[in-house]
């Protein structure tokens, strides 16, 4: 037997989980009020010291909350799964949504009237003082225009903190916060006053000392709270737990951890305080199994069951973290996503297999808790044990969308290509959605922008115009193209133009964070900020990158191939007619489906008629071939020359072209070329921290939101419809099975997209059933990785379950699905995001 199954979670874990599932997210005001008071009191101080004083004020005065049943304590908010506001980054959008945030389509939050009043009063201080205001003042009008017209957005860090980092949890486990303070004091004493950087370094080390002294007090306040609760507790068992929690918080994270429980508490305090210091998301625990396993092995007094319960409690706490964004960004990050990526497996720094006991305990925790967080990932290489991959497959078929699977054989050389040493590249972790980084040595600025490749395609087809606005350069009218070379020349020129403004906008935001929001607490846990005497925002990390991500690659590749096939090669439609059809949205009114207009998706009767026609001439045909032939039959029936609707016929013809996702070299390599044009342009730029831009290809759920900014495309896609997600084929177009689809995706140049690529696959539950299903899954992953794919993740669920959850959300509150680089409760997603997930191809072996 390969399959082993999972044990049952404890009653405590189920009660803690219930608190999360049934929590009503609130906006709270305490952090905003405290931060504003600290800023008002420190107006004469340098930015780094002001930030230290902000951290000191918050750590010393934020309400202390210990929830029922908790063994691991430390909370950002009084209410479960709620959020604080960080006005030093931006605030206008919060006030604008006081009356609508509770009812908006994506990620609603309740804002009580008293909270709104407190925030309104605090916000009076902030006009002109935020990082967003400074960044906006630096940007050119053209950069603002590009964002306004849906080419790209830098909203992630424009309105909030950066995050997207994995700090050195192991360092704190070994030396504690007190050790960091001692390190800062020693470096202060060794400073050379003749050094031109003396003043800035002195300020940085003093800021570290202030922040970490306050962080120690934060933990001690939890010790005092636990002691208070213990005195009031009548249940002897809970009383003993609270007394031990108090002892733990008195000792750690001030001092090195000596037990596994202390190690768990230390890890969580670090995670919690990083969230409190800044509004950044994707603060990722990294290689949890590597820094936690030594404490598990050394603790001879702890039972395996209790150790597992502690790990489960950390999983619960990771789901307690929440974040609110503006209404538009909330749609792009739908599902209350916080992207705390926790990774296990892979290799050690010296190239040996890193799998250990904790790696498997983390999988058990996923099965016990069954909640969206953490974004659980595994690393796979040629030395990965089959047992590890089979066990991961058992987790995958739970239907939670995790683990995401990453290929060491691609990621390690991709990082080395960016200047990361071999040892550091082997020690990579995943942050955020899918972004690899050399952990606790990198300020990667991953997820720095969404870049809409399909929008650039549309602009190229309109000679640089968006509507009546000449947004990009004039590169020639589409109707004057005589070959695919003419298209590529225009597309490259437009891409270069818009990537230039993308880099400008990102760098403006980067500068604003360095000037107004350096983070001393975080920086002391990232190498080599302490050695360099500067924060990560000012270039203190060893490795510095900026990583904008693209989406719409498959749409672009399919569109270019369709033009090549039917306009240039077979000449079945003229470029003039295609342009007219695109301008007319193929004859379909906006907001109207192709079915109701008589175009696009064929009716049931048309499908049956086409199938009968195909089968009458083919006595034996597989499903994929049948599907292809049906589309071709329908396309021929409604060709431009014979159909009653010229535009409808053009759409059906273009839609019948071979698509990315079916292991067809001709179309796959066109998609590869379009993606490389973007990636190569991005890496020409550098950032203010002295690092390089590196491209990624992943969407979060922006393929749905920003699809609304894109008109009709030559692949037959109608205006405003969702775009393909990440490097995945377009929904429903990967018709030849999971291996063919994976082979297509592997043909993209994942090595150059070193900021991460995202590939979604969706399987019917029966496909992974039994030992054979696990073996098939493992074979698929290894084959895809042998072909040099970087990442893959899976939804294992049937369409009917998702449809039922749409109709009966109260009955499916615990249904978790993979959205993009994260999982979320299905019922909290906006309907259009739900529909996008439902529409993905259901694969089977």
Task: Give the Cα-Cα-Cα angle 183, 184, 190 (nearest 5 degrees).
Answer: 90
Instruction: Tell the residue number behind the tokens 């489960």, with chain if given.
Output: 312
User: For residues 672-711, b (16+ Cβ closer than 10 Å) or e, as one string?
Assistant: bbbbebbbbbbbebebbbebbbbbbbbbbbbbbbbbebbb
Q: Tell me the C-alpha to C-alpha distance, in Å, between residue 629 and each of 171, 517, 839.
A: 60, 58, 21
Would the CA dihedral through 795, 797, 800, 806 be positive or negative?
Answer: negative
User: For residues 519-547, b (16+ Cβ closer than 10 Å) or e, as one string?
Assistant: bbbbbbbbbebbebbbbbbbbbbbbbbbb
CB 579 within 8 A of CB 461: yes
Beta bridge partners of 286: 342
CA 714/CA 653 separation, integer angstroms: 10
Crossing angle, helix 304-320 and helix 357-369, to 10 degrees? 60
CA 602/CA 283 separation, integer angstroms: 46
CA 368/CA 17 separation, integer angstroms: 10
The gap between the terminal CA atoms of the chain, to the nearest Å, is 20
Q: Which of 88, 262, 435, 681 is catalytic?
A: 435
Alpha-carbon torsion angle 277, 520, 310, 379, nearest 10: 110
Residue 473 in 3-state DSSP?
Answer: coil
Is 433 known to be catalytic?
yes
- Helix residue spans in 149-197 (DSSP H): 155-159, 169-189
Closest CA to 48 of 407, 518, 449, 376: 518
CA 714/CA 481 separation, integer angstroms: 14
Question: What are residue 405's phi and psi, to 5 degrees?
Answer: -120, 130
Q: Which of 362, 433, 529, 679 is catalytic?
A: 433
Number of other residues whose CB lies within 10 A of the CB of residue 70: 21
β-strands 435-438, 696-697: how paired?
A: unpaired
Task: Give the Cα-Cα-Cα angle 158, 83, 549 (nearest 5 degrees).
Answer: 35
Is 435 known to be catalytic?
yes
CA 142/CA 234 separation, integer angstroms: 66
CA 577/CA 163 separation, integer angstroms: 48
Instruction: Tell the residue number behind the tokens 């672009």, with chain if given.
Output: 556
Query: Known catalytic residues?
Result: 433, 435
């Amino acid at each position: 037997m390969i399959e082993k199954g999972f044990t049952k979670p404890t009653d405590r874990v189920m009660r803690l989980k219930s608190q999360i599932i049934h929590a009503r997210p609130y906006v709270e005001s305490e952090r905003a009020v405290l931060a504003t008071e600290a800023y008002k009191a420190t107006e004469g101080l340098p930015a780094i010291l002001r930030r230290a004083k902000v951290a000191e004020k918050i750590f010393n005065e934020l309400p202390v909350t210990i929830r029922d049943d908790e063994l691991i304590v430390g909370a950002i908010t009084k209410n479960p799964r709620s959020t604080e506001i960080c006005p030093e980054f931006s605030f206008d959008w919060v006030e604008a949504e006081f009356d609508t945030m509770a009812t908006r389509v994506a990620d609603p939050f309740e804002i009580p009237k008293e909270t709104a009043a407190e925030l309104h009063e605090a916000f009076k201080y902030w006009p002109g003082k935020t990082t967003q205001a400074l960044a906006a003042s630096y940007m050119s009008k053209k950069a603002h225009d590009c964002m306004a017209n849906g080419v790209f957005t830098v909203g992630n860090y424009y309105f909030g903190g950066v995050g997207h980092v994995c700090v050195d949890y192991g360092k704190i486990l070994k030396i504690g916060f007190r050790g960091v303070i001692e390190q800062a004091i020693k470096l202060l004493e060794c400073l050379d006053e003749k050094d031109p950087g003396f003043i800035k370094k002195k300020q940085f080390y003093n800021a570290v000392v202030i922040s970490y002294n306050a962080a120690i007090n934060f933990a001690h306040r939890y010790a005092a709270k636990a002691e208070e609760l213990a005195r009031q507790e009548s249940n002897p068992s809970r009383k003993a737990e609270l007394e031990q929690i108090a002892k733990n918080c008195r000792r750690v994270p001030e001092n090195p951890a000596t037990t596994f429980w202390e190690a768990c508490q230390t890890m969580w305090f670090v995670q919690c305080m990083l969230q409190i210091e800044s509004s950044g998301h994707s603060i990722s625990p990294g290689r949890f199994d590597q820094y936690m396993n030594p404490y598990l092995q050394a603790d001879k007094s702890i039972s395996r069951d209790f150790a597992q319960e502690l790990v489960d409690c950390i999983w619960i706490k990771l789901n307690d973290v929440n974040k609110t964004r503006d209404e538009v960004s909330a749609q792009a990050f739908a599902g209350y996503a916080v992207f705390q990526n926790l990774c296990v497996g892979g290799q050690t720094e010296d190239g040996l297999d890193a799998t250990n006991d904790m790696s498997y305990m983390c999988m058990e925790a996923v099965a016990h808790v069954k909640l969206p967080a953490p974004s659980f990932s595994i690393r796979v290489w040629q030395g990965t044990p089959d047992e590890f991959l089979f066990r991961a497959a058992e987790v995958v078929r739970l239907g939670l969308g995790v683990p995401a699977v990453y290929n060491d054989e691609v990621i390690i050389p991709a990082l080395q290509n960016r200047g990361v040493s071999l040892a550091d590249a082997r020690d990579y972790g995943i942050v955020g959605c899918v972004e690899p980084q050399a952990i606790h040595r990198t300020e990667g600025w991953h997820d720095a922008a969404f870049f809409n490749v399909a929008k650039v395609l549309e602009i190229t087809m309109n000679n640089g115009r968006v509507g009546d606005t000449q947004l990009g350069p004039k590169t020639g009218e589409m109707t004057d193209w005589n070959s695919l070379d003419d298209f590529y020349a225009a597309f490259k020129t437009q891409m270069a133009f818009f990537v230039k403004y993308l880099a400008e906008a990102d760098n403006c935001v980067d500068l604003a964070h360095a000037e107004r929001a350096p983070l001393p607490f975080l920086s002391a846990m990232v190498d080599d900020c302490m050695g360099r005497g500067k924060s990560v925002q000012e270039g203190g990390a060893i490795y510095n990158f900026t990583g904008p991500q693209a989406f719409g690659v498959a749409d672009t590749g399919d569109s270019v191939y369709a033009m090549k096939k039917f306009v240039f090669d077979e000449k079945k439609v003229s470029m003039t007619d295609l342009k007219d059809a695109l301008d007319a949205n193929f004859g379909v009114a906006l907001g109207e489906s192709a079915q109701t207009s008589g175009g696009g998706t064929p009716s049931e009767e048309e499908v049956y008629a086409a199938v009968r026609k195909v089968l009458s001439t083919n006595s034996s045909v597989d499903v994929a071939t049948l599907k292809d032939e049906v589309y071709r039959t329908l396309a021929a029936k409604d060709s431009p020359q014979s159909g009653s609707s010229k535009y409808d016929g053009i759409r059906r013809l273009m839609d019948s072209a071979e698509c990315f996702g079916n292991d067809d070299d001709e179309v796959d390599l066109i998609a590869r070329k379009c993606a490389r044009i973007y990636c190569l342009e991005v890496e020409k730029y550098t950032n203010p921290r002295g690092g390089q831009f590196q491209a990624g290809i992943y969407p979060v759920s922006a393929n749905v939101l920003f699809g609304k900014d894109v008109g009709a495309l030559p692949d037959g896609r109608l205006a405003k419809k969702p775009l393909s997600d990440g490097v995945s084929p377009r929904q429903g177009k990967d018709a030849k099975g999971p291996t063919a689809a994976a082979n297509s995706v592997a043909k993209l140049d994942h090595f150059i997209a070193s900021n991460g690529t995202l590939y979604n696959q969706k399987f019917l539950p029966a496909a992974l059933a039994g030992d054979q299903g696990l073996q098939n899954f493992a074979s698929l992953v290894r084959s895809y990785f042998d072909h040099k794919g970087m990442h893959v993740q899976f939804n294992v669920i049937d369409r009917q379950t998702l449809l039922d959850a749409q109709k009966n959300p109260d009955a499916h509150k615990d249904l978790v699905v993979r959205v993009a680089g994260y999982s979320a409760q299905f019922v909290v997603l906006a309907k259009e995001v739900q529909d996008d997930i439902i529409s993905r191809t259901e694969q089977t072996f």
